[in-house]
Amino acid sequence: MIKKFHLFGEEIDVVLTDKLENNNGACDADKNIIYLCKNLDNDYQNATFFHELTHMILLKLDETALSNDEKFVTKFSGLLHQFIATAKEGKK
């Protein structure tokens, strides 16, 4: 699992937590933290990470309306997760 990464030169932390209120993940763009429940199975935790990453990217782009559109975030992050999970390198 990713623990840290950068967006626009800012360090973003990924924090595993026991419980989040009514969610499996959360994004705090002001504090540069993505929270994930640690008791999720690996694939679901990864999918949740990409969902929260999508929120973080949109908020860093100042696209608050898109970030608040859960239908868009869920579809976009699902495709991003599918791409990462299934991408294969080819021979040069």
Local structure of residue 9 (DSSP, 8 states)? T
Q: How far apart are CA 85 and CA 79, in angstroms?
A: 10
How confident is the model at residue 19, as a pLDDT?
A: 83
For the chain, give the percent of residues with pLDDT over 90. Answer: 84
Question: Over 90: is that where the pLDDT of 22 sits?
Answer: no
Closest CA to 1 of 10, 20, 14: 14
- Mean pLDDT (the chain) is 94
How confident is the model at residue 20, as a pLDDT?
A: 86
How confident is the model at residue 37, as a pLDDT?
A: 95
Q: How far apart are CA 43 and CA 54, in angstroms?
A: 17
Q: Write the class of the CATH domain 4-86.
A: mainly alpha
Q: In sequence order, which residues have a C-beta less than 8 Å from that of residue 8 and are 6 or more positions away? A: 60
Domain ranges of the chain: 4-86
Question: Over 90: is that where the pLDDT of 79 sits?
Answer: yes
What is the Cα Rg of the chain in Å?
13
Task: Give pLDDT tens digits for 29-44.
Answer: 999 999 999 999 999 9
